[in-house]
Amino acid sequence: MPGIPREFRVSLPAWLDDELAAVPATIPDRAARMRLVHRLADRNWREGNGGPFAALVAEQDTGRIISVGVNVVLASGVSAAHAEIVALSLAQTAVGGWDLGAHGLPAHELIVNWRPCVQCYGATMWSGVRRLVIAGAGPELEDLTTFDEGPLGADWAEQLETRGIDVVQDQLRDEALAVFRAYREALDAGEVAVYNPRGESE
């Protein structure tokens, strides 16, 4: 069976270097960490890399930033390359192993600008993070952006808590919605490519 691919790669876009140049290595204030996520989410769709989504992994107690991720589905050509998968995989690359909750490591948290889709919900569960921090969890994301997030049970947060992952909700919620609204306005104005799981870019 010759010719089948042996490796795939997912990279952060080059504009992140600019965006992060003035960002300190440690951001002790959680709201400030979420503010950075919102800023990256907003720039991400404007740059055409993918949807209006960003994430980061930080050490829970110190606020040291281990990785950042943005949705690079369009840029990478990999449908799994949502912001959470990118941030978690890069964090694991940084610490040198698949388990961010391993003995000997500080506790890690994943910060995202809305409740993860069903894929990234599972990815969070298997990553070893001890906390998930989200800007919000309601239907507003799907209503505003038109993205399908997939089916999650009503007990989605308890299912994380049961597995030792704290869930912190409603962190800078209005700021998240402002990003989604801006994306939607550009969508309605025909200024950005739409993509969704059942069709190609339009």
Residues 76-105 that bind a second copy (CB under 8 A): 76-81, 85-86, 88-90, 92-94, 96-103
Of residues 46 through 65, those in contact with a second copy by CB under 8 A are 65
Q: CB-wise, 25 or 189, nearer to a second copy?
A: 25
Please enumerate in sequence order all residues whose Cβ is within 8 A of that of 129, keeping only pairs 6 or more positions apart, or say none: 57, 88, 100, 101, 108, 109, 110, 165
Contact 40, 70 (CB under 8 A): yes
User: CB under 8 A: which stretch of 38-46, 133-141, 156-164, 182-190 binds a second copy?
Assistant: 156-164
CA dist., res. 83 & res. 55, Å (int): 5
Place of tokens 């042996």: 6
Of residues 159 through 178, those in contact with a second copy by CB under 8 A are 159, 163-164
Q: Of the candidates 70, 120, 135, 141, which one interacts with a second copy according to CB under 8 A?
A: 120
Q: CB-wise, 75 or 177, nearer to a second copy?
A: 75
Q: Of the candidates 34, 40, 73, 134, which one interacts with a second copy according to CB under 8 A?
A: 73
Please enumerate in sequence order all residues whose Cβ is within 8 A of that of 97, keeping only pairs 6 or more positions apart, or say none: none
Q: Is 200 in the site for a second copy (CB under 8 A)?
A: yes
Structure tokens at 57: 């992994």
